[in-house]
Each structure stands twice: as C-alpha cells, then as structure tokens.
Chains A and B, each alone.
Chain A
Amino acid sequence: MSSQDIPEENLPAEQDAHGAVSVADEHDPFADPGLPPHEHRVQDIDERAAKRSERVVAFLFTVSMLATVAFIASYVAIPHDKAIFVFPIGHINALNFALGLTLGVALFTIGAGAVHWARTLMSDVEIADERHAIEAPPEVKAKVLADFKQGAKESALGRRKLIRNTMFGALALFPLSGVMLLRDLGPLPGTKLRHTLWSKGKLLVNMNTNLPLRPSDVAVGSLTFAKPEGLEETDEEFQTEIAKSALMIVRLQPDNIKDKRELEWAHEGIVAFSKICTHVGCPISLYEQQTHHVLCPCHQSTFDLSDGARVIFGPAGHALPQLRIGVSDEGYLQALGDFEEPVGPAFWERG
C-alpha cells in the first residue's frame, strides 16, 4: 500500500532529534555510531493497515486449517492406484499428489502467517542490550568455596571410611555394565569373511534358469550369473550367502587370456570371477565384451577380465578373486574348490 492514504496526522514528524549520535572524527576514529533512527511501518501508525494485516494472517491460518481437512479428506476419498496428469510434473499418482500438496500448503501457510504477523504487527523497535563481564564478584567466589569446605566437613567423608570406600567401589563398578553391552558388537566374524559356499564339486547354477550350466551354454561374449548348487532364493540365509558367492561367468578366446593362472583356472576359456567389487563390495557386472573390462558403478573401479581381473582404474585394491572351475562327470561346470582369497572389500586382518 502507498503512503498516500495514511491520515496526515498519524505520520511521524521529521526524524531529527531522535538520532543524536557521535560522529567519527580525527580524535575518535572508531566512535560508536549508535542505532539508526527508528522508522515506523504503515501498520504502526494506521489502524486500518494493521487490521488488514490481521485479516491476512488470519486468512493464512484458515487456509492451513482447510488444507489439513483436505489432507484427511483426500486420504479417505482418493483410491491409492489412481493416476492423473498434472502439468508440468506429468503422470503422477493422484493420492501422492493430493497428500503432498495439502500437507505442503497446511505447513507453509502456518509459517507464512507467522512470518507476516511478525513482520507487520509485532513490535519492530530495535533494542540494545548491554553486555557485562561474566566473572563472579570476589565475595560470591569466597562464599562458594566456604560452602564447599563446610559441606565436605559435614559429610564426614574423611572420617567414615567405610562409606567412602564402598561409594568409590560402586562408582567404579557401575560403568562396567556399559562396557559389558559393547559385547553386542560381536561376536567376531571368525573365518566367515574368508569362506563362501563354494567348495570342490559344487555345480555352477545359472541364476536365470536355476539349472546347472554346461560349458556349451556359455558363448564367447556372453555374460551369465551363477550361484552355488543347493542355494535357493527362498533360503533364510540366501542374501548373506549370495553376497559372498555370487559369480560372474564369461567366456574368452583362450588366446586372449593374458594371465597364466587365469587360463589354468578357466575351462576352455570360461572364467568365473567374484561379482563383488574389492573396493567396498558393490555388485559389479558392467561387462564390456569387446574390451573384457568390468566397471564398478559405485566408484568406477575397472577390472580387466582378460588379465586376471587386474585393477586398471579406480580405488579397488585387489584383483577380483577367481573361482577355479572344471567339468563334472555329467558334463556340468563345477567349482574345484573355494575362492583362494577372501571375496569383497579388504578388512583389517585380510593380510
């Protein structure tokens, strides 16, 4: 609103005498300039403007109440699977949209009302509060010390040694209960980190079909994921076990395998590597079949599957562990033992 419709008699006088402040000069270059002169708001001097502000604040609070009612109503009324199109958000679940909108409006208008109230109607006169020293006066200090000495004497702590000693004992023992609870951080993992479900003779089961893999199933350039025979997704321990034993199976031309041990542990160019990144244990299978590189999506560690899964980029500290595989009597791919080294990220005792 403009100041034109403010009654003339309500306008403040020219602000002059109010600000008698010292001015910095060459004798006192850091003189305190004091507070600037107070200026009145329209609402301070015009009751009609104040009434208008009051109505705006009340309106905002009322909108909040209505929005809360609308929140409850939409929770009850809107089916949870109804979708609507809202520009510019696009297709969206109607219930989500209504709940979010009404909750947002209800909270925002409470805040906006409070802010408008404070800015237009509450006093905005600047107040200076002088600071003072925080040190206690000498007589207060002396009294506290005297009180303490007298209390020590009256408690007879020095004389009644039984009380003193048992109190010390109680205080010393009590923290032990807290220390004891630390045991729940354990038990120590033991050798769990070094072993997986793989062992000699376990067949490699295709995770897609749940059937054991034959060497002829795995084509050059293909990517397959395998789990150890006997581990079913319905098992209680499935997640714990697959987190260690997940396998990534690819087939390379044997001529392309640069690492001697990798070739030895492969079967006709079929290699089985742990799917768990050795950096922080993300599942890693962004396999590029032409470069034979595997990329970890978390921190871009890159491993070369044609060279013993050597780390060629990124923060990973170890090559991916390789599982030694062969073929069973029935012609299925099988493990020839557990991983030689712990899978996944390094740990303190890994060595």
Chain B
Amino acid sequence: MKKLSTRRRHPLAAVVVLLLALAATGGLYAAFAPASKAQADESAQSLAIDEGKKLYAVGCASCHGTGGQGSSDAPSLVGVGSAAVDFQVGTGRMPAQQPGAQIPAKKVIYSQAEIDQLAAYIASLGAGPVIPTKNEYGPEGSDIAKGGELFRTNCAQCHNFTGKGGALTHGKFAPSLEGVAPKHIYEAMQTGPQNMPSFPDTTLSSKNKKDIIAYLNAVNGDNTESPGGLELGGLGPVSEGLFAWIFGLGALIAVAVWVAARTAKAKKS
C-alpha cells in the first residue's frame, strides 16, 4: 500500500483511477443489464416490440402515458391485448382526433406492419386478447343461420337486425357494420371497444363469432341481394314511415288536386 500511496501524486495517477473506474462500470453493466437484451435482440418479436415502442412514444404516449398506464384523457392499455390495438388503429379510430362522446372510425394512418409493431408492444405490457387468425374469422365451416340467431340475441339491440347501426345515449352510437373487415368485427366482439360490451370466448365461442361474421356477410355484404329493393337505410319503421308520409301521401294529394282541377275550356282565340 505504501508503494501506491507514494505514487498517488504521480501525473498519470488520475488517468489510472479513471481507467479503473470505467472498467468497473463497464464490467458491472456487462454483467447485468445487457445480458438479456443482447439475446432478446435476436428475435423478430422483440424487434417489433422496440419499433412499436418508438411508434407508441410518438403517436400514443401523449394520452395513454409513456408506459401505457393511461391518464385522465385515455384508458390504460395494460392487458388490452394486440387484438384491441389492431381494431382501434386498424379502423382508424386511434389515434383519436379529438375527445368526444365517441371516437369515430376514420382514415387509417398506420400501415399494417406498423400496426402489428404497435400491437406487439402493447401485448408486451400485459396479456390480453390476441389478433385472430384467418381461420378463426374466415368463412369456412360457418353456420349462417346460427349466426343470425346469435346476432339477434347479442348484437341486434344496438347494431340493428342486419348491422345497419343505431343510436345510443348522449351522442354515442353503434356504427354500421357494412364494409367492416371480418377480422375487425371479430376483434370488436373479443375486446369490446369504447362503450361496446365485450363477448369473450368464454361466453361467445370462436365458432359463434365466425357464424356471426358469416351472417353479417350474408345480410349486409357486397353481394347481398335485397328482395325488398329500396332499403331506405334499413332503419325500420322510422324511415319507411317518413317516406310513405311524404312521398306516398304527397302523390295522393297531387292526384286528388289534379282530379278536382278545372278542366280545359274551349275559348275563342
């Protein structure tokens, strides 16, 4: 120790101490933090999580908090699962434009790859419903009639008998299901976005959901044939009654006026 002590005022002593300190810090760092990180970086999954985290920090963190913990403006995203992200971002509802009774669907601003990265990040915060696969929501092996029964029991009260949508309280509404991708319908049932209740697999099985999607495609899809012709929005007696009162009665009144009108008289020119 004496030897060291005598050289403590050597011009290079400070450099040596600095080198030792750096080596210790680096060694400790190498021993703890990076060990797992170095291995995890190998997998594509955590790459997606990293990319998703960056996207999240830019696009979502201002409302949902830096760690997805939520704030007074937005709910916590811990445990909502990748299905919720795929639905909310994939239908353009998120990122929200402005607060209001309900966040409407709008133009999708993220690519599907970016949405998958965001979903991977949110899924890493806590376990939740995962994005369904094609054969979970696809048309194969579905029962349209059973889907109709299930739709009328569980969904029709808000979304109308053929998924045309309807009004709720205080400016909220159940949107029309026309043109919504089967995957997003599945995810909506799974996660219960906004004020819609969820229909988890424990109460409405995956097969049931597939049947409902097949029913919607049959009654409200691109190739749906409407035996009644002019649907007037498919909203039932309100629009039909309005049409009958205005156009039906209007035509009757016009004809009645014409019947009783003065006939043409012969006149000397």
In the complex, chain B residues whose CB is within 8 Å of the CB of A349: none
A264 within 8 A of B: no
Count chain A CB atoms within 10 A of each CB in B203, B224, B231, B263 and give the residue with the most.
B203
Contact of B266 with A291 in the complex, beta carbons under 8 Å: no
Contact of B208 with A208 in the complex, beta carbons under 8 Å: yes
In the complex, chain A residues whose CB is within 8 Å of the CB of B153: 207-208, 225
In the complex, chain B residues whose CB is within 8 Å of the CB of A218: 202-203
Contact of A93 with B203 in the complex, beta carbons under 8 Å: no
Q: Which of B166, B169, B174, B195 contacts A302 (CB 8 A)?
A: B169
Q: Which of A6, A97, A219 contacts B266 (CB 8 A)?
A: A6
- Asked if A12 meets B266 with Cβ closer than 8 Å, knowing A221-B192, A250-B197, the reply is yes
Contact of B169 with A216 in the complex, beta carbons under 8 Å: no
Q: Which of B168, B169, B208, B225 contacts A209 (CB 8 A)?
A: B208
B259 within 8 A of A: yes
Q: Which of B168, B169, B194, B202 contacts A313 (CB 8 A)?
A: B169
Contact of A3 with B267 in the complex, beta carbons under 8 Å: yes
A267 to B18, CA, bound (A): 65
User: How many pairs of A and B residues are in contact by the CB < 8 Å rule?
Assistant: 127
Contact of B265 with A297 in the complex, beta carbons under 8 Å: no
Chain B at the A interface: SS class: loop
B269 within 8 A of A: yes
Distance (Å) between the CB of B195 and the closest chain A CB?
4
B196 within 8 A of A: yes
Distance (Å) between the CB of A211 and the closest chain B CB?
10
In the complex, chain B residues whose CB is within 8 Å of the CB of A44: 266
In the complex, chain A residues whose CB is within 8 Å of the CB of B168: 286, 288, 295
A228 to B210, CA, bound (A): 26
A236 within 8 A of B: no
Count chain B CB atoms within 10 A of each CB in A96, A286, A297 and give the residue with the most.
A286
A39 within 8 A of B: yes
Distance (Å) between the CB of A111 and the closest chain B CB?
8
Contact of A223 with B154 in the complex, beta carbons under 8 Å: yes
Contact of A90 with B226 in the complex, beta carbons under 8 Å: yes
Contact of B203 with A213 in the complex, beta carbons under 8 Å: yes
A86 to B226, CA, bound (A): 12
- Asked if A221 meets B266 with Cβ closer than 8 Å, knowing A208-B153, A286-B168, the reply is no
Digitize B119-158: 1 where CB-to-A-CB distance is under 8 Å, 0 elsewhere: 0000000000000000000000000000000100110011
A113 to B202, CA, bound (A): 67
Contact of B263 with A91 in the complex, beta carbons under 8 Å: no
Chain A at the B interface: SS class: mixed
Q: Which of A39, A93, A219 contacts B202 (CB 8 A)?
A: A219
- Asked if A287 meets B197 with Cβ closer than 8 Å, knowing A92-B229, A96-B228, the reply is yes
A217 within 8 A of B: yes
In the complex, chain B residues whose CB is within 8 Å of the CB of A213: 203
A297 to B198, CA, bound (A): 20
Contact of B226 with A92 in the complex, beta carbons under 8 Å: yes
Digitize B220-235: 1 where CB-to-A-CB distance is under 8 Å, 0 elsewhere: 0000111111110000
Q: Which of A42, A217, A289, A302 contacts B264 (CB 8 A)?
A: A42
B14 within 8 A of A: no
A201 within 8 A of B: no
A2-B269, A221-B197 given; 15 more Cβ-contact pairs under 8 Å: A41-B266, A88-B230, A89-B230, A96-B228, A119-B259, A119-B263, A206-B203, A209-B205, A218-B202, A219-B198, A219-B200, A224-B203, A225-B153, A286-B158, A289-B196
List, sorted by A's number, 8 A–B pairs whose CB atoms are closer than 8 Å: A91-B226, A209-B204, A219-B198, A222-B197, A284-B157, A290-B194, A300-B169, A313-B169
Could you list which residues of chain B lie within 8 angstroms of chain A, going by C-beta atoms? 150, 153-154, 157-158, 166, 168-169, 172, 174, 192, 194-200, 202-205, 208, 224-231, 259, 263-269
Could you list which residues of chain A lie within 8 angstroms of chain B, going by C-beta atoms? 2-4, 6, 11-12, 39-42, 44-46, 83, 86, 88-93, 96-97, 115, 119-120, 124, 206-209, 213-214, 216-219, 221-225, 250, 283-291, 293, 295, 297, 300, 302, 313
